């Protein structure tokens, strides 16, 4: 058996496990979580016990040691089934925060955090965005000033996914307020520390079961061991790790768009109008054909860049193009699918309405479409 065949078999086995888990543990409860506007904290432990967290991490940290594709497949299946809120929280924890720790932390830090993240004992979040800065990371005001062997952290962050349940948050803060982007450092902040506070859950248009919060730091004393990597290199680390985050957004976009297409294809074949199936109208057929074609083009782009990512060749521009193309496709496609449901698509009785709400944020977080265009343009004609 070739390496490719072994990898495909591994993905197939994990997919079967993931689908069984989602069908048994998540789908029967998801509507309640959406109504509660929060997923239960214990679900992280349940996912950890099922071996779904940090699947592509080394076994020495209590992980499965599977391939990178498996982590992406889990997000795609969650999104395809309409569990976009869960997929987003999962992406932050397993596809963003954990890789920061694996790639940047020292061995002592890895041994402290990663096994707990693999079991769900620790939920991870990352705090970059601030109320007045948005996507302008260099404009952040949160500071971590050195005081002997400690740092004193002050400031606030907003729109933080997993902010309510987080046990450890990677916080971006300025250790040198006068050095611009070169003065940013990253810290692994234990949320039990004095001076750390979580604001009330931010209510959103969609992804209701995903917790999103404001975070506040009031003279939080951080030990030197909380520093992630080297002081002053936070911006460099962010630029290095952002491509995987944006790749994860693309995976969710493609899974979610596929789920919307599946729902719509079933509906238009069942729905009757003017004496025939809605699927027999030329407009319906042409719209579905356009959606399928756009989806497959983005899937091909994703496959191309996943190969580049695994060989450490994926650039910031590659990631920007992938996120821009896939998330904009997702919005257009879910909109077209909802339209084919007619008035029923606007009701909560049909899941397509949740697909529509949940998709909207995809062109905003992890770098808005406008920021993605600027990143791409700079690679073409400079600043």
Nearest residue to 99 via CA among 205, 245, 219: 245
Nearest residue to 362 via CA among 258, 255, 252: 252
Structure tokens at 238: 């962010």
Residue 4's Cβ-count burial label (10 Å; 0-12, 13-18, 19+) is: exposed
Euclidean distance between CA atoms 158 and 199, whole angstroms: 9
User: Any idea what the Cα angle at residue 259 is, between residues 265 and 254, rounded to 5°?
Assistant: 125
Catalytic residue (choose from 23, 245, 303, 328):
245
Instruction: Please confirm, yes or no, whether 245 is among the known catalytic residues.
Output: yes
CB 204 within 8 A of CB 172: no
Euclidean distance between CA atoms 284 and 215, whole angstroms: 46
Q: What are phi and psi of 183, to 5 degrees?
A: -105, 10
164 SS3 class: coil
CA dihedral 44, 49, 52, 58 (to 10 degrees): 110
Q: Which residues pair with 172 in a beta bridge?
A: 186
Active site residues: 245
């Amino acid at each position: 058996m070739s390496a490719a065949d072994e990898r495909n078999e591994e993905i197939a086995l994990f997919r079967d496990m993931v689908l069984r888990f989602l069908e048994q543990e998540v789908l029967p409860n998801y509507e309640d979580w959406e109504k509660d506007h929060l997923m239960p904290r214990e679900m992280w432990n349940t996912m950890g016990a099922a071996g779904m967290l940090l699947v592509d991490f080394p076994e020495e940290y209590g992980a499965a040691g599977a391939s990178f594709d498996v982590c992406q497949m889990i997000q795609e299946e969650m999104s395809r089934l309409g569990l976009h809120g869960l997929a987003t929280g999962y992406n932050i924890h397993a596809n963003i925060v954990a890789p920061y720790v694996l790639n940047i932390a020292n061995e002592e830090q890895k041994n402290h955090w990663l096994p707990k993240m693999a079991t769900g004992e620790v939920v991870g979040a990352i705090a970059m965005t601030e109320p007045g800065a948005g996507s302008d990371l260099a404009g952040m005001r949160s500071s971590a000033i050195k005081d002997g062997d400690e740092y004193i952290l002050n400031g606030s962050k907003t729109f933080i996914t997993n902010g309510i349940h987080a046990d450890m948050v990677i916080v971006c803060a300025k250790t040198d307020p006068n050095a611009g982007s070169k003065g940013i450092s990253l810290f692994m902040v234990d949320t039990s520390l004095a001076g750390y506070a979580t604001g009330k859950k931010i209510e959103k248009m969609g992804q209701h079961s995903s917790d999103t919060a404001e975070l506040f730091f009031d003279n939080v004393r951080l030990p030197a061991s909380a520093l992630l990597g080297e002081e002053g290199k936070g911006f460099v680390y962010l630029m290095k790790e952002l491509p995987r985050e944006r790749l994860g957004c693309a995976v969710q976009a493609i899974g979610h768009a596929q789920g919307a297409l599946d729902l719509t294809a079933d509906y238009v074949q069942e729905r009757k109008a003017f004496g025939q199936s809605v699927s027999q109208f030329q407009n319906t057929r042409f719209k579905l054909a356009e959606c399928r074609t756009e989806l497959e083009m983005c899937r091909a782009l994703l496959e191309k860049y996943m190969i580049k990512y695994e060989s450490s060749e994926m650039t910031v521009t590659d990631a920007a193009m992938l996120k821009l193309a896939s998330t904009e496709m997702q919005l257009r496609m879910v909109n077209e699918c909802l339209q084919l449901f007619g008035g029923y698509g606007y009701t909560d009785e049909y899941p397509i309405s949740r697909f529509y709400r949940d998709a909207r944020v995809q062109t905003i977080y992890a770098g808005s479409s406008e920021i993605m265009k600027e990143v791409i343009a700079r690679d073409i004609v400079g600043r």
